[in-house]
Structure 1
Amino acid sequence: MVTNTALAAEKLLTLIALVILAGMVFSKISRRVHLPDVVLFILAGVILGPYVLNIVNIDKYPLGNQLILTFGAAYILYDGGREIELKVFNKVKVSVLLLATLGVIISTGITGFFAAKIFKLDMTYALLVGAVIASTDPSVLVPLFKNMNISSKLKQTIISESAFNDAAGAIITFSILGVISGGSFSIGTSILELLKNAFGGIIVGTIVGYISTKLVSGKRVGVLGEFPAEISIVAVIGAYLIAQHFEFSGFMAVFIVGMICGNKKALNCWIPDEYYVTQTRFKEVLTVILRMMIFVLLGTQIKFNILAHYWKSALLVVLVLMFIARPISAFLSVILDRKANWTFKEIVYLMWIRETGVIPAALAGMMVSMKLPNAEIISSVTFAAIIITLTFQASTSKALAKFLDLEEDNKKQVASPSITY
């Protein structure tokens, strides 16, 4: 007799197999139709989900869904951190900080103002709409820009912003929720919470990143030198859990772990060539699988009945986000950073690039489960933003870079395996 636990395990394994299989099939299709693979992954989820074939209903797998989304986003963010060169990041750190704080606040305010007018919402709930969709998505941006031939400065600013602005978006969201539930809003408290969240994550990520890097170093302290792939998983999970335990930003922590692992030359660390190759291949395959799973599952969760009811108004709010809120918030953020020496074309590109994904979807889903007033409106705007920004903005990012003449013709320098992994 099959126990309930065994049956649940079998269902979860079936879910994983179906999602990965669908991801592979639709990845092939994406190359044929020249669309970003995440768009096709979401389409695969829609087809497998309750509105079409009803093969995958994520309500039956809440734990599996949360595990995949959390670990997937964390590992992809770690992978993005590894792409950051400290010398380049140092030149744009002010821009990244402003984009992730001031930019999120401005975007929340502008989007919220128009949402109040379009949906005829109370301003508090309208600002909640703006806050939920204010952050960008590392799950999309990290893989997309890793393989684009634009300047390191521009690429690393976009990736770093996606890591840093999740904390700001979440804190603003929960601050507004606190006001709705009868609390009071304090700018000072919110700023302190943001600083604690971000810097706590940085401290945890630095400690875990340093220890894990030393453990796989080729020197005497590198007692786990033959396990760089395995230690990366432990470091990601460990950094995330420790940060979350102390109510810091788990995603910030794993991003910092990635930055340290990707800049181990600064720590005078190295690993043998054979382990470097193994770890790199493992990381690439795992990242692809996680992206498939994240966005196929995301597709199964799109509420078309809610979207159908609010689609016109939701579309207007998303257009405001894309063509008004993002351009203004990005421009005002980077123009204050004189040290970065941004060109007009680079600023235009930053004004356009912003994809909505996993974190906003999680926040919107949480509000629906809380049965918060106007949660369906927030959900409809969030999923409209996901569909439109991934389909339209992600698919045009390469063409826009080419149009603005931002692509570089130089060959990428391959780092020595004995320096980085």
Structure 2
Amino acid sequence: METYIHTIDCNNLLIIFAIVALTGIICSKVSEKIKIPDVVLFLIAGMILGPSFLKFIDISKYGVENQLILTFGSAFILYLGGKEISLKVLKKVKISVLLLSSVGVLISAFVMQSIIGFTFNTSYMTALLIGSIIASTDPATLVPIFNSVKINNKVKQTVISESAFNDATGAILTSAVLAIILSGTFSLKSNLYELIIMVVVGILVGVATGLVLLALVNDKPYGIFKEYTPIVSVLSVVIAYELSTALGGSGYMSCFIVGIITGNKKNFKLWLSQKHYDTDCHVVETLGTICRMAIFIILGTQVDLAVLGKYLIPSILTVLGLVFIARPISVLVCTIFDRKAKWNKREILFMMWVRETGVIPAALCGIIASMKIPGYEIMSSVVFMTILITLIVQGSSTKFVAKKLGLLDEDDKDSN
């Protein structure tokens, strides 16, 4: 009887996977036609397929599997985000990127804590947790946008680099706040110490894992696994995450660092043949696409329409606070002190506007919502509306804003 039940569960999971994959493919094709980010359609499709509508997918029955998909998916997305970082370009704007992805995230989180505390009249720590989740931006969304919008490279690399770094920072901050909520105790000294340990260990494990595993797929002299580069890439994410977590570090930070090393292998005197490089890119990008589909569709299935309706107005007010208060303050504070980058007013205004919320906040929200901690319904509503509004409004208006601010390259201006 027990074996029969397990067989049913296994079959149901396979059906869910098939539905998610097919839905994701259809949504991706539709998004190309109607010119809006695919993740918006993933979210809406998840709502339709979930318990609120058609009841095709109810991931709440599969707690472990849900955690596995969201944890691995977010770790792998961070790895891909790290691969987008160009250390050569990063050197020119490193102060701004460092400040935006650290101080900027903290400013956004604490400003949003005040706004959420006001709009929802919720506890300080619950508001800070939600603020931490939505404080980061999304490289997985920004990269495709900037591929279609030709903007000056300094601004482009700064925004993409910031989004990749602050995803890791946002994940670490969220983990730290969640730990305080679950333990019920707060000590500035001990919690700050734990946060530093998470970052330092995460970086060290990421560097070590990235260098060792990259050497194993290197053309020479130690590349004994170069034929299996895509598999090693996936393994590097799993190993970095698990090893870092076991040592008290941030698994998310480790995966991000592995991505940076992989994406800048020539800086570390490591080489990969074009054949193996192309194969690796194809496999990891495909897996990354599957992860994005799964994360957003699963998040959509967890949205309760009754709860969303209940919290709709305060959620919209919260998003407006994020876009027009928290983000401008964090960008202004973090760029005004970087004299070397020589930011002008138009570039700063553009960076204030571009802050799409995406994969990592969605994954973190899904993980925490499944734990049913106090305030999880408010969190789900805020994160859902933040993703929806920022992607539809800000994502679709990026080119328009860049054009109005005179930041488009000449060839892209001609195409308008």
Q: TM above 0.5, one fold?
A: yes
The separation in 2 between residues aligned to 1:253 and 1:337, in whole angstroms, is 27
CA distance in 1, matches of 2:65, 2:371: 20
Aligned to 1:414: none
1:35 aligns to 2:51 (yes or no): no
**CA 1:284–1:165: 2 relative to 1, 3 Å:** closer
Measured in 2, the distance between the counterparts of 1:195 and 1:326 equals 25
Contact 2:78-2:168 within 8 A present in 1 as well: no
1:418 maps to what in 2?
none
Contact 1:56 1:300 in 2 (8 A): yes
Q: Which moved more, 1:360-369 or 1:325-334?
A: 360-369
The 1:123–1:217 alpha-carbon spacing in structure 2 relative to 1, beyond 3 Å, is closer
1:375-394 to 2 correspondence within 5 Å?
375-394=376-395
Q: 1:327-338 residue pairs with structure 2 within 5 A?
A: 327-338=328-339
* 2:185 alignment partner, one of 183, 190, 193: 183
Shift of 1:371: 4.9
Rounded Cα–Cα distance in structure 1 between residues aligned with 2:325 and 2:365: 22
SS at match of 2:237: helix
Deviations 1:331-358 (A, max 9, x none): 1112122222223222112211222334
Match of 1:350 in 2: 351
> What code does the residue aligned with 2:271 have?
W
Q: Which amino acid aligns with 1:303?
A: D
Task: Quickly say closer, same or farther: Cα 1:131–1:290, change in 2 above 3 A.
Answer: closer
Go from structure 1 to structure 2 and tell me whether the alpha carbon gap of 1:323 and 1:292 turns closer, same or farther (over 3 Å shift).
same
Q: In structure 1, what residue type is equivalent to 2:7?
A: A
Between 35-44 and 121-130, the greater mean CA deviation after superposition: 121-130
TM-score between both structures, scaled by the size of structure 1: 0.88
- Three-state SS of the structure 2 residue aligned to 1:340 is coil
Structure 1 residues 179 and 241, CA gap change in structure 2 (3 angstroms)? closer
SS of the residue aligned with 2:55?
coil
Moved more, 226-235 or 91-100: 91-100
Pair 263,369 (structure 1): closer, same or farther in 2 beyond 3 Å: closer
1:189-228 mapped onto 2 (5 Å cutoff): 189-228=190-229
Deviation track 1:58-84 (CA, whole Å, cap 9, x = no partner) reads: 112222222222222222222222222
CA deviation after TM superposition for structure 1 residue 362, in Å: 4.7
Q: Corresponding residue for 2:403?
A: 402
Aligned equivalent of 1:54? 55
Supply the AA of the counterpart residue of 1:134.
A
Structure 2 CA distance for aligned equivalents of residues 258 and 216 of structure 1: 15
- The residue number in structure 1 matching 2:245 is 244
Q: CA deviation at 1:321?
A: 0.8
Count of equivalent residues: 410
Cα offsets for 1:86-130 (capped at 9, x unmatched) = 121122222222112221222223222233333334545443442
Question: Structure 1 stretches of 5 or more lacking a match?
Answer: 412-421
Tell me, in whole angstroms, the C-alpha distance in 1 between the residues paired with 2:328 and 2:131: 15
1:276–1:120 distance in 2 versus 1, CA, 3 Å: closer
TM-score where L is the length of structure 2: 0.89
Equivalent residue runs for 1:78-97 within 5 Å: 78-97=79-98
98-107 or 135-144: bigger deviation: 135-144
Q: Is the 8 A contact 1:73 1:138 kept in 2?
A: no
Partner residue in 2 for 1:6: 7
Distance 1:48 1:125, change over 3 A: closer
- Residue 112 of structure 2 corresponds to which residue in structure 1? 111
**Cα distance change on mapping 1:137 and 1:17 into 2, 3 Å:** same
Larger mean CA deviation between 380-389 and 48-57 belongs to: 380-389
CA distance in 2, matches of 1:266, 1:112: 40
1:65-144 matched pairs, under 5 angstroms: 65-144=66-145
Going from structure 1 to structure 2, the CA distance change for 1:365 and 1:270 (only over 3 Å counts) comes to closer
Provide closer, same or farther for how the CA distance between residues 80 and 409 of structure 1 changes in structure 2, counting only shifts above 3 A. Answer: farther
Amino acid at match of 1:140: T
With 231-240 and 346-355 compared, the bigger mean Cα shift is at 346-355
What is the identity, as a one-letter code, of the residue corresponding to 1:86?
A: L
Q: Which residue of 1 aligns with 2:324?
A: 323
CA distance in structure 2 between the partners assigned to 1:151 and 1:342 by the alignment: 12
Name the CA distance, whole Å, in 2 between partners of 1:244 and 1:407.
43
SS at 1:35's partner residue? coil
Distance 1:405 1:307, change over 3 A: same
Give how far 1:147 is off. 5.7
Large movers: runs of 4+ above 6 Å: none
CA-to-partner distance for each residue in 1:376-408, whole Å, 9 max, x for gaps?
A: 333322222122222222222333333333334
Match of 1:274 in 2: 275
Deviations 1:25-82 (A, max 9, x none): 1111111211111111112211211112110111122222222222222222222222
TM-fit CA distance, 1:18: 0.8
What is the distance in 2 between the residues matched to 1:81 and 1:170? 14
- Provide the rounded CA distance (Å) in 1 between the counterparts of 2:201 and 2:167: 14
- 1:144-197 deviation line (CA, Å, top 9, x unaligned): 4466533443333333333333454355445555379642341x4444333322
For residues 49 and 267 of structure 1, the distance between their equivalents in structure 2, rounded to whole angstroms, comes to: 46
- The answer for the alignment partner of 1:416 in structure 2 is none
- Runs (5+) with no aligned partner, structure 2: none
Change in 2 beyond 3 A, CA 1:358/1:268: closer
The within-5 A match list for 1:246-261 is: 246-261=247-262
Q: Within 1, Cα distance between the matches of 2:140 and 2:147?
A: 12
Q: Given that residues 114 and 127 in structure 2 are in contact (C-alpha distance below 8 angstroms), is that contact kept between their aligned partners in structure 1? A: yes
Q: Give distance in 2, aligned partners of 1:39 and 1:296.
A: 10
Q: CA RMSD in A?
A: 2.6
Corresponding position of 2:24 = 23
